[in-house]
Structure 1
Amino acid sequence: MTDSDLRDQLDEKHERNRELRLDAIHRWVEFIEEQPPEVWGPQQNRLVNSQLQSARESGLDAEHYRRIEEAGKNQTE
């Protein structure tokens, strides 16, 4: 397998992942449009709180995170 084949496979995987994320977003929008905030609000709060907790536990400060993000952008250019 060549490097270009691996790159193509990775690009396809990224595109599939992107499509799955977009599908999940569309399902969530449908759900919150059909349900009252009392139903979906607590679920969203749990999700956001979980993400915040994970970010705090990662041990990365904001500046370190920005450096990582910038390095990733430079790598794709």
Structure 2
Amino acid sequence: MQYKTCTSACSGSCYTETSTDMCENVCVQGCGCPEGLLLNNDMATCVYPSECKCIHRGELILPGKVVTSGCQTWYV
């Protein structure tokens, strides 16, 4: 993470998506991830979106697991 004198108050993370419609673009002092990276909530580090873990209904889904919900199936 980097300290910035002007960063977004609504930075994206692995568990949340930032929507400009729902968030005012307010400039605040604080720490944030460099452009193109997301906050990994587990370790408080910045990672590429492809490195985010999969969370389904609040449960961590590890790679290789099959998730079924209703008639949909996902292969993680």
TM category (shorter chain) comes to under 0.3
Q: Which has the higher strand share?
A: 2
**How high is the TM-score relative to the length of structure 1?**
0.21
**How high is the TM-score relative to the length of structure 2?**
0.21
Q: Which has the larger radius of gyration?
A: 1
Q: Which has the higher helix share?
A: 1
